[in-house]
Amino acid sequence: MKKLTLPLTKEDVLSLHAGDAVSLSGVVLTARDCAHKRIFEYLDRGEKLPFELKNATIYYAGPCPAKPGMASGSCGPTTSARMESFAPRLFDLGLNSTIGKGEMSDEVSASLVRNKAVYFAAVGGAGALYGKNILKSECIAFADLLSEAVHRLEIKDFPVVVAMDAYGESVYKK
Amino acid sequence: MRTIDTKTIEETLYKMALKAGVSLTESCVAAIENAKTNETCPPCKFALETILENRRVAAENGMPVCQDTGLAVVLMEIGQDICLTGAPLKKSVDEGIRRAYADGYFRKSVCDPLTRVNTGDNTPAVLHTEIVEGDKVTITLLPKGFGSENMSRLYMLTPAKGVKGIIDSVVETVKLAGSRPCPPVYVGVGIGGSFDTCAFLAKKALTREVGTSNPRSDVAEIERECLKRINELKIGAQGFKGDVTALGVSCEIAPTHIAGLPVAVNIQCHCIRMQKEIL
């Protein structure tokens, strides 16, 4: 399996094709329904976000609480389709990859092509496996949203599949 | 008359919820193993292998198999010869769930539908009670993730649509759900009853073990035909276009009105975390 370290470079992104199995390590930011709504409120007010989106990777996930002695609780992907109305604007602002599960819209695909970005699918329902591969977790914004807050995760060897690539190809349409 | 203190029900549900969150049912695992063996599409095989590896990691570390530890759906059959004593039943159920989700380090996923403010303790649970014969209490807990719940549908068909209409509705629901509900899915179908009881039948159908059939042969035939047509959709594990889209289809039926044919389709992801106990 191909191994990549986040943040991805443009060369990394362009080397990926829908259907490739990849192992990801590095830093991701978690954000799901409520966090995206909050991010858009910041953007609409013209305020600076409390974290950097440029070249970042957003993981559509809301973890379980960590047991004592562990960095994170179970933390698999949530359904990405609920975030597809938000994703294009964030890719346009410099986000270069997202991780979730399930197909995203043609508008998202177009924004991946336009921005040379990539959408990975983690395996839904494999939360323990992903949670165990989180080395460090820190809440960096919107703590009041509890499991929906934005967490900065250091991940190691996340097994994912390239779901939708920078060439407009999709594993869901092959 | 036999009496049961609702504290016993609270304790039972507490233990059931702690176990449910970190384990899959044996029939679910067997069906996934079988799917992995037969799958010919490489990304789907990869997903099924990851799902089985995840189950091992969850068991080894006492971690939830899925971070969506779900809305706690409780089905309780209460024998009419029992007298329940102690705290109100619903309060005891919620207390068992609240304690389990705290002590198990499970995610709290329940919120107000309008303000979206989290209740913070995964309560209230959903409680369905049926009064039945006898002096036993049968408790079934099905923690329900919403990736799959969101993809469920209810149809009010006309009687003229018949069996074909039922099967088409089930297949359409799975097709529209596509990659989103974490396939391979388990499909619960309610046929008949009223608008409300039909949806309940679909949920109840999900509490039957994967691989079993409805005892009525015409209903079992609908289950088989639905499963065949669903797997012909080639959605595959995680939507990666493989052979196994559903692990099974389970139908429950009830008499309905002469003017109607309600069909409810409740989708369950591959993480079936059901627990049953009889008191």
Distance from the Cα of A104 to chain B's closest Cα (Å) equals 9
**Greatest Cα pair distance in chain B:** 59
Q: Is the pLDDT of residue A174 over 80?
A: no
Question: CATH code at A96?
Answer: 3.20.130.10
Q: Across-strand partners of B191?
A: B253, B263
| Residue range B116-135, pLDDT digits in tens | 999 999 999 999 999 999 99
pLDDT value of position A1: 87
Number of structural domains found in chain A: 1
Residue A125 to residue B179, Cβ atoms within 8 A? no
Residues of B within an 8 Å Cβ radius of A: 22, 42-43, 46-47, 50-51, 53-55, 57-58, 61-69, 105-109, 116, 118, 120, 147, 150, 178-182, 238-241, 269-271
Percent share of chain B, pLDDT over 70: 100
**Cβ-based contacts of A129 with chain B (< 8 Å):** 50, 53-54, 57-58
Distance from the Cα of A155 to chain B's closest Cα (Å) equals 16
User: B150 in helix, strand or coil?
Assistant: coil
Pairing of strands B275-278, B137-144: antiparallel
User: Is residue A149, in this structure, part of any structural domain at all?
Assistant: yes
User: Is residue A91, in this structure, part of any structural domain at all?
Assistant: yes
| 0.90 surpassed by complex ipTM | yes
User: Is residue A173, in this structure, part of any structural domain at all?
Assistant: no
Q: Which of A64, A132, A159 sits opposite B105 (nearest CB)?
A: A64
Least Cα distance to B52 among B20, B28, B69 occurs for B28
Residue A123 to residue B54, Cβ atoms within 8 A? yes
Half-sphere exposure of B164 (CA within 13 A, CB side): 2
Residue burial A149-170, b: 16+ Cβ < 10 Å; e: rest = bbbbbbbeebbbbbbbbbeebb
> Rounded to an integer, what distance in angstroms lies between the CA atom of residue A30 and that of residue A115?
21
> Rounded to an integer, what distance in angstroms lies between the CA atom of residue B54 and that of residue B224?
29
Q: Is the pLDDT of residue B193 over 90?
A: yes
Q: Is the pLDDT of residue A82 over 80?
A: yes
Nearest CA in chain A to B237: A123
Average pLDDT for B206-228: 98
Question: Number of residue pairs across A and B with CB atoms under 8 Å?
Answer: 152
| Residue range B37-71, pLDDT digits in tens | 999 999 999 999 999 999 999 999 999 999 999 99
Domains belonging to chain B, first-starting first, are 2-21+65-144 (no CATH), 147-271 (3.30.1330)
Distance from the Cα of A98 to chain B's closest Cα (Å) equals 16
Q: Are the CB atoms for B148 and B181 separated by under 8 Å?
A: yes
Select the residue from B109, B175, B179 to test the A interface by mutation, using most A Cβ atoms within 10 A.
B179
Distance from the Cα of A63 to chain B's closest Cα (Å) equals 6
Q: Which of A61, A81, A161 sits opposite B67 (nearest CB)?
A: A61
What's chain A's average pLDDT?
A: 96
User: Is residue A49, in this structure, part of any structural domain at all?
Assistant: yes
User: Is residue A135, in this structure, part of any structural domain at all?
Assistant: yes
Select the residue from A129, A132, A153, A162 to test the B interface by mutation, using most B Cβ atoms within 10 A.
A129
User: Is residue A174, in this structure, part of any structural domain at all?
Assistant: no
Residue A151 annotated in active site:
no
Give the structural domain span for A58.
Answer: 2-164
Q: Is the pLDDT of residue B216 over 80?
A: yes
Q: Across-strand partners of A170?
A: A164
Residue A102 to residue B178, Cβ atoms within 8 A? yes
User: Is residue A170, in this structure, part of any structural domain at all?
Assistant: no
Distance from the Cα of B57 to chain A's closest Cα (Å) equals 6
Q: Which of A62, A79, A148 sits opposite B180 (nearest CB)?
A: A79
**∠ CA B157-B160-B166 to the nearest 5 degrees?**
50
User: Is residue A99, in this structure, part of any structural domain at all?
Assistant: yes
Q: Where are the alpha helices (DSSP H) in chain B?
A: 6-22, 26-38, 42-61, 89-103, 146-149, 162-177, 195-205, 217-231
> Rounded to an integer, what distance in angstroms lies between the CA atom of residue A60 and that of residue A73?
15
Q: Are the CB atoms for B11 and B96 separated by under 8 Å?
A: yes
Task: For residue A16, name the pLDDT band (cuts at 50, 70, 90).
Answer: very high
Residue B54 to residue A129, Cβ atoms within 8 A? yes
Q: Is the pLDDT of residue A12 over 80?
A: yes
Q: Are the CB atoms for A158 and A7 separated by under 8 Å?
A: no
Residues 6+ apart with CB under 8 A from A113: A166, A167, A168
Look-up of token digits 């995760």: A153
Q: What would the two tokens of residue B26 be?
A: 């044996």
Select the residue from A33, A64, A134, A164 to test the B interface by mutation, using most B Cβ atoms within 10 A.
A64
> Rounded to an integer, what distance in angstroms lies between the CA atom of residue B77 and that of residue B130?
5
